[in-house]
Amino acid sequence: MKTRQLPRFEPVGVDEGRVLWKKYRGNVDVERMLLELAQARQTIEEIGRYFDSVRRVWEEENLGQLVAMEKIRLLLSEQHLRYRALAGLKPPPPDKDPDEPEPALVD
């Protein structure tokens, strides 16, 4: 199943979400939408923690690099950086141990 691509948009920042919460307090639909946004962000963080655990074990077992795991890592990293920017936090320091590139396949 292919997901429909969303149009580009300015994301709702943490401070903006708080303003909307106060401004529309009592509007059940807006409150529910803002809670859904907060819950989705918490879920992404939790998935990221589970992913880190799986990745550590995968690397300890020296099982190489899965394309799907790498794509998930990149998606989670993008969401983490986006959230930090929305929260007004400084970006994390560069990774001291960048991932090794996958070896070229030999035919």
pLDDT digits (tens, 9 = 90+) for 64-107: 777 777 888 888 888 888 777 766 656 556 655 555 544 444 44
In-domain check, residue 99: no
Model confidence pTM above 0.85: no
pLDDT tier for residue 48 given thresholds of 50, 70 and 90: confident
Domain count, the chain: 1
For the chain, give the number of residues.
Answer: 107
In-domain check, residue 58: yes
In-domain check, residue 51: yes
In-domain check, residue 7: no
Angle at 92 between CA 103 and CA 52, to 5 degrees: 55
Give me the domain span that covers residue 63.
14-86
Which pair of tokens denotes residue 19?
Answer: 């303003």
In-domain check, residue 97: no
In-domain check, residue 41: yes
